[in-house]
Homo-oligomer: A and B are copies of this chain.
């Protein structure tokens, strides 16, 4: 059994995080899948998805640490192609990855109590984001 839906989001700035756990739960519920997996994928190369304890402290910490490790700069090779100042956005998103897969059991995503699913905007301007969720199982 395969069920696919997309989640549409609007972001306003680099480092903005969205908690999409509720969206994924609703899609899993609509799928009718009782046991299997849910795959979450950001379409596009300057945002990422992952799992985190979604609270204001880490919401600030994660993008700040990514900017410390892979800082904004005009010196990336990517600048020579596009001149849009988002070389670090591409690198951060690639290092974090566009996809997350979580188990589905008893018709719901399996997560820890303090474990949520996020989308992180890595790009330097507001973007429309499409996240595709694929639920597979029986």
Bound complex: CA A88 to CA B95 (Å) = 16
Bound complex: CA A78 to CA B90 (Å) = 26
User: Which residue of chain B is the closest to A51 with respect to CB atoms?
Assistant: B98
Q: Given A65-B91, A114-B45, A136-B37, are A81 and B99 neighbors across the interface (CB < 8 Å)?
A: no
The dominant DSSP class at the A interface is mixed
Q: B-contacting residues of A (Cβ < 8 Å)?
A: 1-2, 4, 35-37, 39, 41, 43-45, 50-53, 55-62, 65, 69-70, 76-82, 87, 90-91, 94-103, 105, 110-112, 114-115, 132, 134, 136-138
Bound complex: CA A115 to CA B45 (Å) = 5
> Are A43 and B100 in contact, with the CB atoms below 8 A?
no
> Are B52 and A45 in contact, with the CB atoms below 8 A?
yes
